[in-house]
Amino acid sequence: MNARPTQTPLVEFTANQPFRFTQHNAAPETEQVEDGVGRYYSSSQAFVNQAIVPNGNVFRIRTTKAKLKTLAKKRWQTTNFKNKKVLFLLPSAMLGSNVSTLLFLDAFKAQLGAKEVGVFCAGSSADVYLTSDLAKLYTLWISRSELKHWHMVVDLGELESRRDIEVWPVDMEADLLAAFGLVPGANYLATPRKRPAAKKPRIGILPLASSPLRTLPPALTLALAKSLGDLGDVTVCLNKYQHQGRLYDQVIRPDLQNSCTIVDAYETIGGLLAAVESFDYAVFADSGPAHMSKLFGTPGVAFYTAAHGDILQGRFQNLARWSVKYQSDYCSAPCGLAKLRCNGAGETGCMASLESTLEDLPTTPRSTDNNVVKNLLLDNPIPCVSALADETNDILDFVRKDIQSKLSS
């Protein structure tokens, strides 16, 4: 069969009047406006929960199990895409996943001759696609009438690797390229970019990840910010919209407010992208911003605890990798977890912090618990993250040498 129903969950809804929607953390250009006529499809559960469900006087959910006809995965490598308009359904709004998709689209469009490509349901990662003119963007939904513009729909949720992404890191760009029989595109080089040497380089430190499992220890960030000040203008980038970010700010600001710049948040993902592009060198946790650096060739270093840096960075060599040295009776780094896990008693952590095997931690938390975040970030940190703090002196030496090497070459 050439076609099969979508595997990514879709909600089909209608409206009884014109409507528009803009995400608070996205650029104005990602806003969608509709006349309210016809039917619409979205894979963004956040949008459905925040906009559709609370406004039952305007919207009506027709089904939470909508299906669209898509190109079967077994046909991805044999289909002739030349001069075709191809729409990709995005199964995730994660920054890293969408950076990888944009890298893949660069290769897909150039090597397979597609006339036009589009993406729908990019969600909070919509600004990633505004960094290029590769794809037409549908941020949160697409109308049934707009679907007629496209010759075919490809559901990227069919990739097998996405099913295990919570347990083991994935080089999503490589998996996408392999699924279509492609090689990396020409517009995103794997090597660090070259810029004229600045008198005082801009050095960014981006210590936060979406989970305390991968966020840098505050003590390490403090040491880095203080150590690197003689090599350039240091900016520490936080996120006040995240409880973890607010806690982090409270810990580091008293010691750093007179020695470097602290950005408490960027209003949009586009603002964060611009910052990553602007730095001459950047220090990253294992996070979305580390993936963003691939789009710009930003030189720097990334620190890895639970995940394997070589897999996540893939072909890109702009970032040096530092992987923590940690081993316990229950795990060794990198264990592969991308998210925290829960045991049968409802406790949240990882194998080492809960002294359990992965089999005894069957689920991930359904929502963010601020008390858990505080405990795992400050009071009882994830053991491999604590181990990273124990390596501070060696890390400082490594990073200083890496900066001097990359900014002098």
Task: Spell out the domain ranges in the chain.
Answer: 3-180, 202-408
What is the rounded CA–CA span in Å between residue 279 and residue 277? 6
What is the rounded CA–CA span in Å between residue 4 and residue 153? 10
Distances, alpha carbon 289 to alpha carbons 52, 202, 207, 272, in Å: 30, 16, 10, 8
For residue 153, the cross-strand partners are: 87
What is the rounded CA–CA span in Å between residue 84 and residue 75? 15
Strand 116-120 relative to strand 85-89: parallel, antiparallel, unpaired? parallel
The pTM of the full predicted model, rounded to 2 decimals, is: 0.95
Write the burial class of residue 85 (CB in 10 Å: 0-12 exposed, 13-18 middle, 19+ buried).
middle
Q: State the pLDDT at residue 164.
A: 60
Q: Render each residue's pLDDT in the chain as its tens digit; 409 residues.
A: 578 899 999 999 999 999 999 999 999 999 999 999 999 999 999 999 999 999 999 999 999 999 999 999 999 999 999 999 999 999 889 999 999 999 999 999 999 999 999 999 999 999 999 999 999 999 999 999 999 999 999 999 998 776 666 567 789 999 999 999 999 999 999 999 987 767 899 999 999 999 999 999 999 999 999 999 999 999 999 999 999 999 999 999 999 988 899 999 999 999 999 999 999 999 999 999 999 999 999 999 999 999 989 999 999 999 999 999 999 999 999 998 888 999 999 999 999 999 999 999 999 898 889 999 999 999 999 999 999 999 999 999 999 999 999 987 5
Q: Which residue has the tokens 């050095």?
A: 203
Distances, alpha carbon 93 to alpha carbons 50, 221, 239, 401, in Å: 15, 27, 18, 36
Write the burial class of residue 18 (CB in 10 Å: 0-12 exposed, 13-18 middle, 19+ buried).
exposed
Bond prior to 334 in cis (omega within 30° of 0): yes
Q: Where are the beta strands (DSSP E) in 1-56?
A: 3-5, 10-15, 19-21, 32-34, 39-42
Residue 17 and residue 36 in contact, taking contact as beta carbons nearer than 8 Å: yes
In the CATH scheme, what is the code of domain 202-408? 3.40.50.2000
User: Alpha helix locations (H) across 167-287?
Assistant: 172-180, 218-227, 243-256, 269-278
Among 199, 399, 394, smallest CA distance to 299 is for: 399
Q: Which residues of 311-346 are buried (b: 16+ CB within 10 A; e: fewer)?
A: bbbbebebbbbbbbebebebbebbbbbbebbbeeee
What is the rounded CA–CA span in Å between residue 300 and residue 296? 12
Identify the H or E element spanning 59: strand 59-66
- Alpha carbon 56 to its chain's center: 32
